[in-house]
């Protein structure tokens, strides 16, 4: 990751734009619904393989788009973690109205939202899956100055500093990484074309602060989580080390819990080399609870 300072992008707010509906909604036959949630600055496309694998086994699947994802960065970067969570919460409550048993799986930051749902709704959440959960940016590709960035977020430059995504983009698979690189390497800070497929090429420091605040909310409440929980984390995570999942696994009080460590993937495990392993582990977990 490299830091970008873009002062001209600090002033003013654009109007919201109409964005294509890239949410994935698949009807199943089991009376069980799984909500799959993409990561911060990501896209529902990250969950596509997992979605269709579960649906082929009879599960209804919803892959929503978190609040303001798809909008220009100048809107997304001013979104709070509470707004992201509320957008998922609305989808969860609507799914409960169907009478189905409802499960939620989240990637990266959204894995933390799974834990929040478990704390808030208890048994109404039938099970949770935390995929490469991110409490801390401590993966092998995160620069040393990362730990200073929460301080920058409290300065007038909060909305002017960005990370530019660099290889490997959370993907170990060389073919898929090359495809992402073709888009990310040419992307400009104001671009919105390609977001639905690849996500954002720039990561605002303001959102880094939101993740920091969310982690501070999550850690003290882990022992109140009793929902059955599966955690899957790559050993070579370039964004968030496996320590993140280990801390959650040790902290939650769920009588049914499992931690799976992948040996051949980077951060975006739902799309990387072992996406089939992720899908099968998730499927086996859901069938067992």
**Structural domains for the chain:** 2-288 (3.40.50.1820)
Kindly tell me if the per-residue pLDDT of 2 is higher than 60. Answer: no
Kindly tell me if the per-residue pLDDT of 189 is higher than 80. Answer: yes
User: What's the pLDDT score for residue 9?
Assistant: 47
**Residues 76/48/102/247 CA torsion (nearest 10 deg):** -70
| Count of helices and strands (H, E) across the chain | 10, 10
The token duo for 142 is: 């995160």
Q: pLDDT of 93-108, one tens digit each?
A: 999 999 999 999 999 9
pTM of the model: 0.93
User: What's the pLDDT score for residue 160?
Assistant: 78
Kindly tell me if the per-residue pLDDT of 163 is higher than 90. Answer: no
Is 41 in contact with 68 (CB distance < 8 Å)? Answer: no
Mean pLDDT of the chain: 91
User: What's the pLDDT score for residue 154?
Assistant: 66
CA distance 2 to 163: 5
The token duo for 245 is: 């999942």
Above pLDDT 90, what percent of the chain?
A: 76
User: What's the pLDDT score for residue 276?
Assistant: 98
Q: pLDDT of 197-255, one tens digit each?
A: 889 999 988 998 899 999 999 999 999 999 999 999 999 999 999 999 999 999 999 99
**Residues 118/123/124/125 CA torsion (nearest 10 deg):** 40
Cβ-in-10-Å burial (0-12, 13-18, 19+) of 61 comes to buried
């Amino acid at each position: 990751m490299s830091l970008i300072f873009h002062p001209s992008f600090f002033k003013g707010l654009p109007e919201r734009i109409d964005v294509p509906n890239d949410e994935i909604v698949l009807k199943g036959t089991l009376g069980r619904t799984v909500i799959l949630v993409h990561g911060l600055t990501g896209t529902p496309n990250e969950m596509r393989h997992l979605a269709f694998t579960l649906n082929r086994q009879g599960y209804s699947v919803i892959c929503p788009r978190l609040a303001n994802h798809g909008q220009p960065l100048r809107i997304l970067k001013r979104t709070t973690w509470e707004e992201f969570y509320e957008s998922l919460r609305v989808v969860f409550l609507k799914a409960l109205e169907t009478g189905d048993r409802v499960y939620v799986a989240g990637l990266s930051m959204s894995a933390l939202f799974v834990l929040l749902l478990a704390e808030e709704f208890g048994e109404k959440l039938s099970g949770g899956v935390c995929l490469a959960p991110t409490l801390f940016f401590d993966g092998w590709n995160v620069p040393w100055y990362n730990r200073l960035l929460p301080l920058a977020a409290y300065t007038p430059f909060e909305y002017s500093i960005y990370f530019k995504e660099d290889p490997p983009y959370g993907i170990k698979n060389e073919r898929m990484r090359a495809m992402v690189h073709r888009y990310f390497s040419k992307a400009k800070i104001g671009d919105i074309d390609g977001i639905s497929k690849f996500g954002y090429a720039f990561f605002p420091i303001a959102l880094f602060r939101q993740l920091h605040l969310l982690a501070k909310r999550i850690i003290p409440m882990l022992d109140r989580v009793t929902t059955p929980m599966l955690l899957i984390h790559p050993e070579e995570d370039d964004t968030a080390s496996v320590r993140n999942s280990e801390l959650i696994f040790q902290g939650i009080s769920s009588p049914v819990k499992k931690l799976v460590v992948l040996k051949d993937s980077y951060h975006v495990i739902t799309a990387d080399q072992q996406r089939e392993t992720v899908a099968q582990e998730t499927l086996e977990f859901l069938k067992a609870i």
